[in-house]
Amino acid sequence: MPFLGQDWRSPGWRWVKTEDGWKRCEPFSPALEDGNNQLNDISHTVIITGDDENEEVYSTEDCEFAAKKRKKDHFRKNTDSQCFYREKWIYVHKESTRERHGYCTLGEAFNRLDFSSAIQDIRRFNYVVKLLQLIAKSQLTSLSGAAQKNYFNILDKIVQKVMEDQYNPRLIKDLLQDLSSTLCILIRGVGKSVLVGNINIWICRLETILLWQQQLKNLQMNKQVNNGLTLSDLPLHMLNNILYRFSDGWDIITLGQVTPTLYMLSEDRQLWKKLCQYHFAEKQFCRHLILSEKGHIDWKLMYFALQKYYPIKEQYGDTLHFCRHCSILFWKDTGHPCTASDPNTCLMPVSPQHFIDLFKF
């Protein structure tokens, strides 16, 4: 059997007929591109001979298929970017069946749901960051090599976005703090590393995280100069209405530091009472009741005290959805090929914690 190339199953190299005879075209060379038009017009078969007595006959279609395969393999070996898919959904299955071999993984979900693009959408940004934070707390030891790479690629893009746009740096600081704390425990506190991969790689990643933390610590917020209407020019009832729409106590405190008027509005007892009633049940109030010097309930301190013991309601502009009929996870605005008669009745919003639970095996 003649030697046909790196893979004995392949039809071999592509050849182009010239005035000096047949010449072999190297993959990805200019000669290959120049000969494409000529090869497309060839209708006869290409004969590759090894000995005089043995010969193999391959059609032009077979040669073109082999060249495409080598080109695809070359691309996979030399690219560091993620694989991108047209469909922004993934079928969630936890065991092998006759129809589907293997099961979906967390790393595959990162690719198929395109989290790298999701962080550019302000509606999904907080959702993705919260998801990465939960993974940093509990799922680092279960990440495969591909999932690790995707995780830190997305994290790098998040940090760069915050550095450029100064968008919600507090949220990213919390994420990096949880991630660095978990890595320190797993690398230094555990006698034997339980992380997938070389320990030196994780040490380098920890150094990168510490560098990101220092960059965020030195982040200077750009002062925007506007000659038009500003937040301070709004009437009091509109400012108060804005504060009542916040679901995070830290956001209220941060906004209260802008002007003395906003500070006065942010200290309103009724505002913090509404916030406590939104996140917590009345039974929880009795267990952690805090009174002020005047004998009134200090709702502001109550909120932060209850936050330590009970989870607060999560609120996101956009979330992933799960179709109970198709077992498909997807972004709601991208949709999925649902076969149900009434798809809207099968949809279920997926919180970041629920997303992680879907990929626990």
Tell me if 316 sits within 8 A of 308, measured CB to CB.
no
Rg (CA), the chain: 29
Domain ranges in the chain are 101-218, 248-309, 320-358
Residue 111: per-residue pLDDT: 77
Residue 184: per-residue pLDDT: 84
Is pLDDT of 55 > 70? Answer: no
Mean pLDDT over each residue of the chain, to the nearest integer: 75
Residue 156: per-residue pLDDT: 92
Is pLDDT of 22 > 60? Answer: yes
User: What predicted TM-score, i.e. pTM, was given to this entire model?
Assistant: 0.65
Give mean pLDDT, residues 225-246: 82
Residue 9: per-residue pLDDT: 54
Q: Which of 15-24, 110-119, 253-262, 343-352 has the lowest mean pLDDT?
A: 15-24
pLDDT tier at 1, thresholds 50, 70, 90: very low
- For the segment 158-186, what is each residue's pLDDT rounded down to a tens digit? 999 888 888 888 889 999 999 998 888 88
Give mean pLDDT, residues 54-67: 47
Residue 56: per-residue pLDDT: 42
Provide the greatest CA pair distance for the chain: 106
Residue 255: per-residue pLDDT: 87
- Listed in sequence order, the residues at least 6 apart from 176 whose beta carbon sits closer than 8 Å to its beta carbon are 159, 209, 212, 213, 216
Residue 167 sits at the vertex; the CA angle it makes with 164 and 170, to the nearest 5 degrees, is: 115
Query: Which has more pLDDT, 68 or 57?
Result: 68
- For the segment 296-321, what is each residue's pLDDT rounded down to a tens digit? 888 888 888 888 888 888 778 888 88
Is pLDDT of 225 > 70? Answer: no
Is pLDDT of 192 > 80? Answer: no
| Number of Cβ within a 10 Å radius of residue 99 | 6
Query: Which has more pLDDT, 238 or 282?
Result: 238
- For the segment 27-50, what is each residue's pLDDT rounded down to a tens digit? 544 444 444 444 344 333 333 334
Residue 80: per-residue pLDDT: 43
Residue 19: per-residue pLDDT: 76
8 exposure class (CB count in 10 Å sphere: 0-12, 13-18, 19+): exposed
Tell me if 326 sits within 8 A of 340, measured CB to CB.
yes
- For the segment 271-296, what is each residue's pLDDT rounded down to a tens digit? 999 998 888 888 887 777 787 777 78
Tell me if 178 sits within 8 A of 138, measured CB to CB.
no
- For the segment 243-257, what is each residue's pLDDT rounded down to a tens digit? 988 888 888 998 888
Tell me if 332 sits within 8 A of 113, measured CB to CB.
no
Quick one: DSSP state of residue 189? I
Query: Which has more pLDDT, 207 or 220?
Result: 207
**What is the C-alpha separation between 132 and 155, in angstroms, rounded?**
8
Cα separation values, 361 from 95, 106, 357, 358, Å: 9, 11, 9, 8
Residue 79: per-residue pLDDT: 42
